Structure 1
């Protein structure tokens, strides 16, 4: 049997995605307005092929453990990182990944902790796929470290480097977990797998650091460093294992933000055994120093403490612990027991020193020789996406417009629309409203028409009637109001459905929380996790309420002017009957009145020209807005520095300059129109006073003037209502899209929460069924960390004889799960791990072998 006493991390299994390329192409066809699907087809198929090469084919596939797989996984990780700049985070492809330790083939220990294969968790999230691949990179690094031959300096250095790279990849994963920006609806974040959550990853990272430090400790033993230095290194090994054990316990318990994860009992027990073992190693090594310095009480106390730790470790290791670890443990226990018996005998007969209690033993200052090391290809993957030497290949899906560019374009479109609505359209409408209000107050042009044309229907009224008829008349208003009521009801039902689903899910969460108790039901409350969705629903509901009030105003206006508009619809004869005729025989116009009327008519015509020019200005602005395109400049800037990302702020100067070029001409003309209108209205008011002073007042003329004014106002109100109804229909169309998206997001959220709750209940049930006994380790002597002082020069190596050797019992050899290989041509070319181990042991004809243990005098 090979002496394997280190663990490989479990590989994370996945299922093949045979339709991945087709799904990407379909997404490009449906979502991209700038890229033809054919332009992305070749890259999409290359990405699918790269996934299959790196992760395997079939169900529950895992990567092979070799250097070629590391390259493939790194290349796929880099391509996924680049794809994030081209594809949305919530990608319409569900990536399936099995939880860690949930498939027998992925276990680092053949412990049988999981008798059945857990189903994969599939999320439509590029970050989920990317971080799962990053985890597998760490697992392959750790597996390679476990399989290194640690019989020589080169193998030991390679093993330490592999474990440090594994810890570095997991540290990077932890950093990226914190940096992830989840969608506001939090649909995917609520079911983020517990095996990729912080407590689980921290436990596995600390395991990798512990094993790297253990190999470094082994090297110190082989180099025959002083016992005090070896003790410091051993204590740091114990601390790393203890940290991993505590993190694993935290993963099993869950946190306020993560669901419990069933960390295997065998792995937790292994970590506890290792922590106790190396605590004993540290105390034993330090006891040798105490003996040499005649500190017999300290030596005796440390040997007693080491013996206690080893007895506890042996008790824990009765099941689920690899035989090599138990062998190391028992070997050390025998050595400590023999030395404790000797020390007790010598002390009783010769030294008569009181054993120092563990609570007052001088602390051992631990020393760290390892740290997480992130491979540069993982730290900055985009800089390695090139086809030159050392590169990972050209980036795939480069034909797609970068997501950052799309976001900037969306921002640009929003700004243009806001500018058009607020600065041009609204300003023009305000100027028109001021003009209309002024003329209505002066009863113009009705008063002028009544004087200048006392009989029949004035031509201005007929022109307005024709304008109303050309727009569809009163029938169009009625049809549009009916459409507005219909789409408003559709929006109301969509929002009501979303609110009902949220209320239903909240009630279910409250019921389960009451059933299991808040201490055990650790999922986030619905009131917290669903807050963004509820807030969005409330926001859209307030929009709907405001729009409903506007609709009521339009209906009230329609009711007020319906009869006059019906007369407009009826034609010239009906209009003539509705307008009283003045008494032309008694009408006499004074010379000042004639001049004032003539000048008023000229000013009204000029005002109408100003309004027409303003309308043309608004239409010109509407045409210019879609033509103001910054896409070319954005793509040019992005291509100049594809790896840099300053966010949307980096494009702000460009957008400001383009907006200035677009807005200045129209705003300048609008200001001139405003100034000209004010001058005209001032002149109209002055002439109107002269006109009124010289006008003769007749009852028939006043009635005709009032009737003409009603028709003038009805014309204005018709087009106001028409504009409001058009805007209302557009508003409801936009709102229905938002309400539909909200309803769909709520459905996804509720489904995800129910799935998460079901899984959590299953986890609680499994915990109750297993009812594991708590794993405890005797309290260690409090230690403080400090940097290891420079060790003295290595003593001259000599091999101790078996009769005089004291053994730590930890040979620094390796333990690994059998990593399953998927059926492929690569299997035949790659020897199995067991075969590799046998070959390694057989080839170690000279020098130290892990199977021999660590022995020194």
Structure 2
């Protein structure tokens, strides 16, 4: 591919780097947005926002993201070094990638008239180099011979043990090694001596050859160009390897960052679902709370005034029907009265021999307060006694009314029956009927 391959690889690196940076930035942005939302809600609801803070939950992910960020920074530095080296040797690499004809034209050629091909120094140097090649071949053959030697000291040691009853290991080993490897030792020493002599001769011949080359400027320029081309070739191979490795690195890092992004997306989605459920619970809890605190009652409604009795209980307590020996007895009953037809028909509705019980007091309205302004209970009723007309000369006096706080300040309640004063010898008036009772109203005797 030549220079075009290197240019394309260098052009692809920034795109791969930018893609990885965008994936990493998007992953961290998801975490930042969710953490910001969590902090805002925690500030808003304070102690009601009972869940793990996002900044603590995301510590492993942020550490992993910081590691990826450092990797990308190091990759950017490596890319910069590769680009700098490429720019340094780009011209020579471009020359090296040209066709062979253009390459030969760009390289200075030595003048045949001035070449050293037929000089004595060159011939001597070539002969010495050929002798050096022969030494190398002898070395290889000697090495193979040494490796093929069968060296076994077991039989020697056993024979010595059987003859003498003891083993002189050092003496036997030295003798046997000299017998087997003595000839090879001599050959190695001769090869080393020959090598040293050849190296000295080659150095001297090369010095003479270098002096002759320095006198030819065109040859020096050619050598410089060839040296630069060799360096350019080495850099080209290394640059292509580095760029391919960088491309592979960025592609593998992209897969890793995509997994990291999926991990961040999953945990952010889970946190969002948890946040929505918690918000729903908080909204329901707030909706069930009272909108305002209960207003205390005024002092004049809760504290009884001076000279007044405290409010009675909303549930009336019926007065005792009979107090033996403690209260004065009521006056004797008058004789039975003459019951009218209307009274007889209404009285016939009740079963004979059974006294009808009065209706129960009305139940208090739910939510109503229990101060003295509550509904007035019905007065306790005794058994239905018949009303008798008074004797001549006797005037039925009204019974004293006790203090009943429920009888004041009420609306839509029946008034208490007024006491009836009868003249002597006059039949009594029928008592008024109370609503809801199927019996005629009987007089109430207040118990003292």
TM-score by length of 2: 0.45
* Larger radius of gyration between Structure 1 and Structure 2: 2
